[in-house]
Chain A
Amino acid sequence: MRADLEIIERWIQPESHVLDLGCGDGTLLSYLQGEKNATGFGLEISPEHVAECMNRGVNVIEQDLDEQGLGNFEDQSFDVVLMTQALQAVRRPDIMLDEMLRLGRESIVTFPNFAYWRLRWYLMWRGRMPESDTLPYKWYNTPNIHLCTFKDFEALCYRKDIQILNRTVVDSEHRYRWFNRLWPNMLGQIAIYRITR
């Protein structure tokens, strides 16, 4: 099982109504349906992923977050709104966070940390846009148009009066390492935040 699923699962109450933005092939929702008796929907734009979700028994709505927004969902209609590894790829992450907390009581967000020491090292020594196993793209074809660091994200939350309930910092395989916690913004690769308003 994917390690991040286990971490996220712990933060989700049984029977929760969940919205997963960019749900991929539905692995996470399917897992939450099985383990936590969760209900809800995934949103996805890739036709292949949409079909995979349907085949798994995950409710999936084909919807483009950037083009169509989330206006079709009512305020506070979900217990939790999830977004794994997609916040950095939407057109306006700040507005997306507002929307997520409009729809859900809580949100769980995961994203790659651009201040991870290897990325800093890459930029400093090579003088070129960093690439890594979590960010395997060129600057011109990357879907990750709004990369940020843990500090950036937390500053945005502070400015928006968003409360951080939990933060877990892991490596690219979603494993805990003692040094991740020691100096997260330098040593952590992926952050998993639980936020509310």
Chain B
Amino acid sequence: MPETLPPDCVGLVEPRTLHFSDPLPLACGQSLGEYDLVVETYGTLNEEASNAILICHALSGHHHAAGYYSLDDRKPGWWDSCIGPGKPIDTNRFYVVSVNNLGGCHGSTGPNTVNPATGQPYGPDFPVITVRDWVDSQIKLADRLGIQQWAAVVGGSLGGMQALQWAISYPDRLRHSVVIASTPRLTAQNIAFNEVARRAITSDPEFHGGRYYEHNTVPRRGLMLARMIGHITYLSDASMGEKFGRELREQAYQFGYDAEFQVESYLQYQGERFSESFDANTYLLMTRSLDYFDPAYEFNNDLAAALRHAQCEFLVLSFSSDWRFTPARSEELVNAMIAARCRVSYSEIDAPWGHDAFLIPTPRYMDTFSAYMDRVAREIGA
């Protein structure tokens, strides 16, 4: 708990809920009649509304990207390392909008929201939302906030996919797309990990076909397992080795099957905490959305063709030890951008933290990110 807030922090923040009553057509063929989006904003929108940045979140993320809700908060928002005064996304220069995606479980309409048609939570009836659908909902958000063109759309991992989809879906509505630790499509191995996570949830007896709300229960064990397997893919062998090694909780082996190694109890702790705060149906939805993302699919699997209409400039960053979305996946994206004659800059940041490196403010990452965002700000006179 911070006694006072650090000077490079956006301070105390508050989310707000925006209601949209125009139906949103979805990739699956259904449409959402009305929906809420929860957002947080940091900084001040300038007169021309040209200094706005959209932050897109990853699988387990939400709208609370920076700052604190109260001085009693143990931790700030999930990307506080990069958003704030003097940080790469400098709130003295930019107006930052951070949104909880549709299908999420932190306030925006999702499976745990009451379906106005039935008076019950949507549960498994909530439609699968794709990255493209999210971008379609975010454009409504931009319209509502009076933002004709984002200075940049920025995201890591699944958030990077949204930044990329923005450039393809709405070329004239953003100046820069910043795609960090992401990929133009999941590999079979990525999908396989997602499937194990989904099976863990759906095979939990408390899942009840996704209608656990009605049974006043939660598939906690399944969600916990899903998070544990996911969490392993966010770290690297080296970072786990450094953090835990083969350290035991007790002095010696207990010759049993409880959590004896520190890494075991860490994963259990992470899984338990996650299962208390995250919705299982949202986890299914987010992983499916990851699986489906493939902007090249509609262009004969030619990613360059998908990117040919993009008008924005791109920054693509990868991390050397990320084995979930490896640097090779980012390079595949960059090569397609080069072939499509997009304006793109790319850097592979040397960092040992695996996929999670995009959340950790290592000097080289911060320097590169800041150098780029400084130019984005200068271009719009911010």
- Chain A residues proximal to chain B, CB less than 8 Å: 17, 39, 41, 47-48, 50-63, 72-74, 77
Q: Which of B315-352 contact A (CB under 8 A)?
A: 315, 331, 334-335, 338-339, 341, 343-348, 350
Query: What 9 A-B pairs come out closest when comparing CB atoms?
Result: A51-B371, A55-B371, A54-B372, A62-B347, A72-B335, A54-B371, A61-B346, A51-B368, A60-B345
Contacts of B372 in A (CB 8 A): 51, 54-55
Contacts of A56 in B (CB 8 A): 375
Chain B interface size, as a band, is 20 to 34
| 4 extra A-B contacts, CB within 8 A, seeds A50-B347, A52-B371 | A39-B343, A47-B367, A54-B371, A55-B371
Tell me the minimal C-beta distance from A124 to chain B in angstroms: 44
Contacts of B144 in A (CB 8 A): none
Q: Which B residue's beta carbon lies closest to that of A57? A: B375
Tell me the minimal C-beta distance from B227 to chain A in angstroms: 33
Contacts of B334 in A (CB 8 A): 61, 72
Tell me the minimal C-beta distance from B367 to chain A in angstroms: 5
- Chain B residues proximal to chain A, CB less than 8 Å: 313, 315, 331, 334-335, 338-339, 341, 343-348, 350, 364, 367-368, 371-372, 374-375, 379
Instruction: Verify A59–B345 contact, CB threshold 8 A.
Output: yes
Q: Which B residue's beta carbon lies closest to that of A55? A: B371
- Across the interface, B368 reaches (CB within 8 A) one of A39, A41, A54, namely A54
Q: Which B residue's beta carbon lies closest to that of A52? A: B371
Q: Which A residue's beta carbon lies closest to that of B379? A: A57
Q: Which B residue's beta carbon lies closest to that of A56? A: B375
Tell me the minimal C-beta distance from B75 to chain A in angstroms: 29
Contacts of B374 in A (CB 8 A): 55
Contacts of A54 in B (CB 8 A): 315, 345, 347, 368, 371-372, 375
Contacts of A59 in B (CB 8 A): 313, 343-345
Contacts of B367 in A (CB 8 A): 47-48, 51
What's the Cα separation between A57 and B372 when bound, in Å?
8
Instruction: Verify B315–A74 contact, CB threshold 8 A.
Output: no
Instruction: Verify B345–A61 contact, CB threshold 8 A.
Output: yes
Instruction: Verify B345–A55 contact, CB threshold 8 A.
Output: no
What's the Cα separation between A57 and B335 when bound, in Å?
19
What's the Cα separation between A157 and B207 when bound, in Å?
71
Among A56, A62, A77, find the residue whose CB has the most chain B CB atoms closer than 10 A. A62
What's the Cα separation between A57 and B348 when bound, in Å?
18
Contacts of A41 in B (CB 8 A): 338, 344
What's the Cα separation between A47 and B224 when bound, in Å?
39
What's the Cα separation between A17 and B345 when bound, in Å?
16
Instruction: Verify A50–B368 contact, CB threshold 8 A.
Output: yes
Contacts of A52 in B (CB 8 A): 371
Contacts of A55 in B (CB 8 A): 371-372, 374-375
What's the Cα separation between A17 and B368 when bound, in Å?
25
What's the Cα separation between A54 and B176 when bound, in Å?
12
Contacts of B364 in A (CB 8 A): 47
Q: Which B residue's beta carbon lies closest to that of A48? A: B367
Tell me the minimal C-beta distance from A56 to chain B in angstroms: 7
Tell me the minimal C-beta distance from B130 to chain A in angstroms: 29
Tell me the minimal C-beta distance from B350 to chain A in angstroms: 8
Contacts of B339 in A (CB 8 A): 74, 77
Tell me the minimal C-beta distance from B104 to chain A in angstroms: 32
What's the Cα separation between A52 and B370 when bound, in Å?
11
What's the Cα separation between A57 and B315 when bound, in Å?
11
Tell me the minimal C-beta distance from B89 to chain A in angstroms: 15
What's the Cα separation between A91 and B335 when bound, in Å?
23
Instruction: Verify B368–A47 contact, CB threshold 8 A.
Output: yes
Among A54, A57, A63, find the residue whose CB has the most chain B CB atoms closer than 10 A. A54
Instruction: Verify A62–B348 contact, CB threshold 8 A.
Output: yes
Contacts of A50 in B (CB 8 A): 345, 347, 368
Q: Which A residue's beta carbon lies closest to that of B363? A: A47
What's the Cα separation between A39 and B343 when bound, in Å?
9
Instruction: Verify A73–B346 contact, CB threshold 8 A.
Output: no
Contacts of B345 in A (CB 8 A): 50, 53-54, 58-61
- Across the interface, B344 reaches (CB within 8 A) one of A17, A47, A61, A73, namely A61
What's the Cα separation between A56 and B331 when bound, in Å?
22
What's the Cα separation between A57 and B338 when bound, in Å?
16
What's the Cα separation between A27 and B335 when bound, in Å?
23
Instruction: Verify B375–A61 contact, CB threshold 8 A.
Output: no
Q: Which B residue's beta carbon lies closest to that of A41? A: B338
Among B315, B347, B368, find the residue whose CB has the most chain A CB atoms closer than 10 A. B347
